[in-house]
Structure 1
Amino acid sequence: MANNWEEKNKDMLQKHGQELQEAIEQNLEGDQQGNSYISKNELEDMLQKHFNRVEEMMKNYQPKEEKKSISERLQERYEHYQEKLNDYGQGFTKSLKKRVTSVKENVQEKMNNMRDKVQDRITDVKSNANKFIQNGVLKLNERVKSFSEGIEQQNNKIKSFSEAIDKRFELNKEQENKPLYLLKYNENGTMEEIKSVNELRQMINKEDSPYRQKNHEIMDDSTFIKEFNTLNGDKAIILQEKDIQQPLVVIQWSENQQLKNGEVIPFGEANERMEKIAIEREKQDGYDKTRYHVVLPKELNENNQVSRIDMNRIDLGDGVYRSPIEQLSFEKNLSKQTMTTLKNEVSTYKENDSSEKQNRQEMDKSNSEKDGKLEVSKDLKKEDKKEQGTQREAKPELALER
C-alpha cells in the first residue's frame, strides 16, 4: 500500500520538477548577447528556497483525523501535497517573472551586474537550473520515502496491537463461560462456588466486595486469576476446573515457611513434603500448625462436580499425624474409590521421586567415575613428563662418560 503511495508521489514530484523547468524555459530571458538577466547563483538561490519550502510543508503536515484507515490517510496526504505544490509552483513562476522584468527595466542594475562581471550565458543558467531541479526532486523523493516508511511502521504497530487485542478478546471469549472453582475462607468455615470469569469480575466490582484487585478490567483472564490468588490468598483461591484433573492440596495457611499461603500442590507431592516437614520438626521438639484443603476432580464425585475435603488443621511435628493421607484415613469416612485414588497418588509420587533420586545418584556416580579417570589420566601424564625429563638430564652424563 505504502509502495503504491510512494510511486504516486514520485510521479507528482517529477511532474512538479518538469513544471519548474518549463517555467524557467518560458520566463527566463537574456540580452541580445545571450547573457541571462539572472545569474546562476541567483536562480539557484530561488530554487533552493522553493525546495526548502516544499520540504518544510511535507515535514509539518498533520492529518485531519488520526482514526482514518491508512489508505485514507495516505490519500489525504497525497492530495495535500498536490494542492500545495501547485500553489508553490505558481508562486515560483510569479517570482521569476517579477525578477526578470525588474532586471530588464532597471538599467542601473544591469550596469551593476556588468561591473560585478555577473554575465552568465542564458543557456548555461537554464542547464544548471535543470540539474538543480533534478537533484531537488530526488531529495524530496527520499523525504517522501522516509514518511511512507514511518507510516508503514506505525500501521504495523497498530495492526499488531489490534491483532493482540483481538486474540485476547477471543481467548477471553473462550474462557468467559468456562467454570471456575472458587474456594472462600471465613470465620464460619470454608465455602465453594462455581462461577464464570465475568461473574467473578462483577463480584469484585461491588462496593462491599472483600476482595482486592486493581485494574482487573484491562487484564486477560489468566493474569486476572493469577493476580486474584496473589492478592486474596488469605480469603479465597480460584482454580480453573479444567486444571483439576487430579487431587490437589490447597494450603490456606501454615506456620512453616516451606508451605506458602495459597499454594496449590498435587496431592502426592503435598503428602511427601508435609511428611518430611513433620519428621524434621519431631527431631526439633516442635510443630507447625497448618490448615489445608483437599480438592477432588469431578470423577470422584457422584454428581460429577469438583468437590473438596475440609481439614480442620494438621500440626506437623506433634507426632499425631505426619501426613494428609494419615489424617484423612483416621478422620474422614471417604469412599473406597476416593481413598484408593489418594493412596495411588502418594505411592506414584514416591516411586517417581525415588526413581528420580536413583537417576541422580547414578549420574553423580558416573560423573564421579569420569572425574576419577581424568585425575588418573592427569597423574599418568605428569609421570610421563617427569620420566622424560629425567631421561633428558641423564643423556649429557652418558656423553661425558664416553
Structure 2
Amino acid sequence: MEQSKCEVKDVYLVRYGALQSNEEEIVTVDALRGRAERGKAYNDVENARELNDKEFIEEFNKENQQNFIALDHNAIKKPMVVIQWSEADLETNKAIPFGKANAMMSKRIAEIDTESKKAEEKGEHVPFEKTRYHLILPKEMDKYFNRLEVITMDRLDLGDGGYKSPYEQILNEKRDLSDEVKQALQQEINEYEQTKGQSNPEKLRTVNTTEISEIQQDKVGHFSSKETGRDEDTAAINKQEARRMARMVYMQQMER
C-alpha cells in the first residue's frame, strides 16, 4: 500500500553533543513517539497521539531543540543546513535548503560588518554573533553507504571579520569534500539567487574542478572578491584585517 504523504517510516535522529561529538541513529517514528512519551532524556510532545507523523516530527524538534533533531532522511534530496543555535535572529533546529541558509547568514554578516564600520568611527564596538550549524547531505550523495551525512562545522562567528558566508567556511575547512558535493552547494546558491532575482547571469554556471581548486588555494577573506571579480581597496582590506585580528584575540579568551 502506498505510503501517505503524512506518514514517515523512520527518521535520522541526531543528539547534539559537545563540539562535534554528536550521536546519530535511524529510528522508527513509532519508537521516537515512545521515547518522547516515556524517556527522561526527551521532552514530551503535547497531544502527540493526535498528530500525524510529519506533525509529530515538527513538534518534537521544537520541544527538544536543545538536544535533538529528527530528520526525515528519505525526504531530503538536496544539501540542507540545520542551525543548532545562534545569537543572531535565525530560525533554528529546522532543515533549511543550503542556498537559503547561506543567504540568510551571509546577509547577517554583511549587516554586522556595516554596523561595525559605523561603530568604529564613534569608537564603539559591535559584537559578533556566535552560531553553530550543521551541513546535511542527502543519502543519495553517499556512494558507499547510502546514508544521510551530518557535517558539524566549527562555530561560525557572524561578523567577526573572517568568513563572509557559510559556503566560504565549508570550502576552506572541509577540503576533503568531493567535487560533486562542492558543485551541488554552488548550484544551490545559484538557484536560490536566481529565484530571488539577485544573481549575476555570469555566476549561474556549474563550478568545475579547476575553479574549486583555485578557490581552495586563495586566502580566507579573498574568496568573495574572487567570486565577484572585483578588486578590494587595499586600505579597506588592511582595516578589516586589523579588526579581524583584534576579535580573534578576544575569541581565544572565550570557550568554544
Same fold (TM over 0.5): yes
Alignment map for 1:164-183 (pairs within 5 Å): 178-183=9-14
1:308 aligned residue (127, 150, 163): 150
**CA pair 192-298 structure 1, distance change in 2 beyond 3 A:** same
**CA pair 265-171 structure 1, distance change in 2 beyond 3 A:** same
Displacement after TM superposition at 1:304 (Å): 1.2
Within 2, Cα distance between the matches of 1:319 and 1:346? 22
- The answer to whether the 8 A contact 1:175-1:197 is kept is no
Amino acid across the alignment from 2:100? E
TM-score normalised by structure 2 residue count: 0.66
Amino acid across the alignment from 1:184? R
**CA pair 235-348 structure 1, distance change in 2 beyond 3 A:** same
Within 2, Cα distance between the matches of 1:306 and 1:198? 20
1:290 aligned residue (131, 152, 155): 131
Secondary structure at 2:22 match in 1 = strand
Amino acid across the alignment from 1:353? K
1:350 aligned residue (184, 189, 193): 193
Secondary structure at 2:157 match in 1 = strand
Quick check: which has more Rg, 1 or 2? 1
Of Structure 1 and Structure 2, the greater strand share is in 2
Once the two structures are superposed, residues 129-187 of structure 1 have per-residue CA deviations (whole angstroms, 9 ceiling, x without a partner) of xxxxxxxxxxxxxxxxxxxxxxxxxxxxxxxxxxxxxxxxx999887672212122133
Q: Which runs of 5+ in 2 are unaligned?
A: 117-126, 201-256
> Aligned pair count?
188
Q: Which runs of 5+ in 1 are unaligned?
A: 1-169, 358-402
Within 2, Cα distance between the matches of 1:204 and 1:216? 9
Amino acid across the alignment from 1:262? N
Of Structure 1 and Structure 2, the greater helix share is in 1
**CA pair 280-349 structure 1, distance change in 2 beyond 3 A:** same
1:338 aligned residue (168, 175, 181): 181
Within 1, Cα distance between the matches of 2:188 and 2:149? 17
Displacement after TM superposition at 1:287 (Å): 1.4
TM-score normalised by structure 1 residue count: 0.43
Displacement after TM superposition at 1:261 (Å): 2.3
- The answer to whether the 8 A contact 1:289-1:316 is kept is yes
Secondary structure at 1:223 match in 2 = helix
Once the two structures are superposed, residues 22-44 of structure 1 have per-residue CA deviations (whole angstroms, 9 ceiling, x without a partner) of xxxxxxxxxxxxxxxxxxxxxxx
Secondary structure at 2:197 match in 1 = helix
**CA pair 279-335 structure 1, distance change in 2 beyond 3 A:** same
Q: For residue 327 of structure 1, what is the aligned residue in structure 2?
A: 169
- The answer to whether the 8 A contact 1:296-1:308 is kept is yes
- The answer to whether the 8 A contact 1:297-1:307 is kept is yes
Alignment map for 1:1-400 (pairs within 5 Å): 178-187=9-18, 189-257=21-89, 259-285=90-116, 286-302=127-143, 303-332=145-174, 333-354=176-197
Within 1, Cα distance between the matches of 2:39 and 2:69? 20
Identity %: 37
Task: Report the RMSD for the aligned CA atoms in angstroms.
Answer: 2.6
User: Which structure is higher in RCO with an 8 Å CA cutoff and minimum separation 6?
Assistant: 2
Secondary structure at 1:334 match in 2 = coil
- The answer to whether the 8 A contact 1:172-1:221 is kept is no
